[in-house]
């Protein structure tokens, strides 16, 4: 699909996703203890019932997935998770980022990150059940929407 033929509102969402992926990639290059401060409350989760508009959560998820395929930098799970969390926060939607570890088939330690908002997995749901959660951060918000 040609970018120019995409409806204006969706274009803006894709641009926002791209910029948040860039921001998240920069954050990933910093020491994690500095980044963690901005991720939310450590070691707690947001509610698992619906806390935001499911259609908006799906739009954010789709935009992150789409644009992560078109970045010139690595936009794997942690970058996607941080970007999605920021986009949800801007919309006044709470979310939780999970950090997990596992061993691959060669017994090498691997890591994964994913985001949940209410009952919905926004990023990283593929393979998340293979990982042991070693950290989580809840982005708890007041219910104001920042659009």
Instruction: Note the pTM of the prediction, 2 decimals.
Output: 0.92
Structure tokens at 66: 């789409």
Integer Cα distance of 130 and 132 in angstroms: 7
**Cβ of 81: how many Cβ atoms within 10 Å?**
27
Render pLDDT for 86-138 as a digit per residue (tens, 0 to 9).
999 999 999 999 999 999 999 999 999 999 999 999 999 999 999 999 999 99
Q: Where are the domains of the chain?
A: 7-139
Q: How far is residue 85 CA from its own chain's centroid?
A: 4
Residue 66: DSSP 8-state:
H
φ/ψ of residue 111, rounded to 5: -125, 160
Asked if the model's pLDDT at residue 143 lies above 60, the reply is: no
**Cβ of 37: how many Cβ atoms within 10 Å?**
10
φ/ψ of residue 15, rounded to 5: -65, -45
Render pLDDT for 43-87 as a digit per residue (tens, 0 to 9).
999 999 877 899 999 999 999 999 999 999 999 999 999 999 999
Secondary structure class of 51 (helix, strand, coil): coil
- CA end-to-end distance (rounded Å), the chain: 27
Asked if the model's pLDDT at residue 145 lies above 70, the reply is: no
């Amino acid at each position: 699909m040609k970018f120019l033929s995409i409806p204006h509102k969706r274009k803006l969402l894709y641009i926002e996703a791209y910029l948040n992926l860039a921001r998240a990639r920069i954050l990933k290059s910093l020491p994690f203890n500095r980044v963690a401060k901005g991720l939310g409350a450590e070691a707690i989760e947001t509610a698992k019932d619906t806390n935001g508009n499911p259609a908006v959560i799906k739009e954010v998820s789709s935009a992150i997935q789409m644009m992560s395929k078109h970045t010139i930098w690595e936009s794997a799970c942690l970058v996607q998770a941080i970007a999605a969390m920021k986009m949800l926060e801007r919309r006044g939607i709470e979310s939780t980022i999970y950090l997990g570890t596992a061993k691959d088939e060669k017994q090498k330690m691997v890591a994964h990150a994913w985001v949940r908002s209410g009952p919905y997995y926004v990023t990283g749901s593929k393979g998340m059940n293979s990982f042991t959660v070693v950290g989580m951060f809840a982005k708890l918000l007041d219910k104001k929407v920042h659009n």
